[in-house]
A and B are shown apart, each in its own frame.
Chain A
Amino acid sequence: MSLPLAEKAGQHPLPIEFADEKESIKITGFWMFLVTDVLIFASLFSTYAVFRTSVAMGPTPDQLFRMGPVMLETILLLTSSFTIGLGVYFMRKGQVRALMGWMIVTILLGAGFVGTEIHDFVTFAQMGATWHTSAFLSAFDILVGTHGAHVTFGIFWAITLLFQLRKRGITPQTARKVYTYSLYWHFLDIVWIFIYTFVYLNGKIV
């Protein structure tokens, strides 16, 4: 049986990132990467679920977590997810300046997130709560740290995309790269929502 792989006849054309067949296969490939990344975070969440009560002589989650910085990080990341969504919207309209503007806003919000998180971790370390302290803190640092490392990588990725957009404009290739980057960024937002709920808010439920 032959599968209908072209766009539906008579309807609107495909968005630019799906216009080239080879580029759209790479988008499917990127979804497969996200699927494997879900598994990484699922194992880290399982580790945290198992160890979160093993606080040894260290602080408990309720004693350690301060919700102020956490809420700030959550708002920054949610907003950056929204701004990159607007970026993709304007990319499909072919407006390269609007796309680059929203990407810069996204990068700044992401940098604010990473900065707040690093400040939070340094504060914990000064209180003597490092990943040597207890199994809970080992699991916490590796889960939240892996997410933070992903966000940091995403910031550098976005900067390289900005240079490509400035040089080449919106082509099927750069559009595919921006689209996969937006998938990555929204995925990190989803992971953060579960960290926020299962780690931070759960730590406040006594």
Chain B
Amino acid sequence: MSEAPKAMTAEEAYHNENDKVLRFLEPRFHEEKFPSIQILGYIGSLILTFGAYFLVMNHVLPPVALLSVILILAVFQAALQLGVFMHIREGRGLAWQLIPLYFVFFVALGMVAMSIWIMLFKSGVS
């Protein structure tokens, strides 16, 4: 009878070439003496919010381009909230939440974008 496979250490498993998923799901923690990253995140979110406000109020771009730009700013701010405040990469052992989260962003974007797209065909029901 063959010997049972030896259990990997965490270090080996996270850097196992045959299993890239483990490397992707490796949790990362961030600790500091002073909450500087939170303060920077707060300032960043205020800049993004007021930036979008002034872009819209001064009508700096044509409508469709303006909407695209402020939506990109909103996505940046969502990423900032997830990364700075929600500790998206933290977990015990593996950060399993990343897989359904990325999947649901894909689904949500699809739902909204496809709804907008289908309403561009106004013929018949408008």
CA distance A187 to B31 in the complex (A): 22
CA distance A12 to B27 in the complex (A): 13
CA distance A193 to B94 in the complex (A): 29
B1 within 8 A of A: no
CA distance A9 to B53 in the complex (A): 48
For A52-84 the 0/1 string (1 means CB < 8 A from B) is 000000000000000100010011001101101
- The answer to whether A197 and B13 touch across the interface, beta carbons within 8 angstroms, is no
Residue of B whose beta carbon sits closest to that of A13: B29
For A1-21 the 0/1 string (1 means CB < 8 A from B) is 111111111001011001001
CA distance A9 to B93 in the complex (A): 11
Chain B: residues with Cβ within 8 Å of the partner, total of: 58
CA distance A74 to B93 in the complex (A): 36
- The answer to whether B93 and A186 touch across the interface, beta carbons within 8 angstroms, is no
Nearest 5 interchain pairs by C-beta: A4-B10, A31-B97, A42-B108, A5-B93, A46-B115
Instruction: With A42-B108, A82-B42, A186-B85 given, name 15 new contacts (CB 8 A).
Output: A3-B13, A4-B8, A5-B92, A5-B94, A9-B11, A12-B31, A24-B92, A39-B108, A50-B119, A67-B57, A75-B46, A186-B81, A196-B49, A198-B74, A205-B56
5 A-B pairs with CB atoms under 8 Å apart are A5-B92, A31-B97, A82-B39, A193-B81, A198-B74
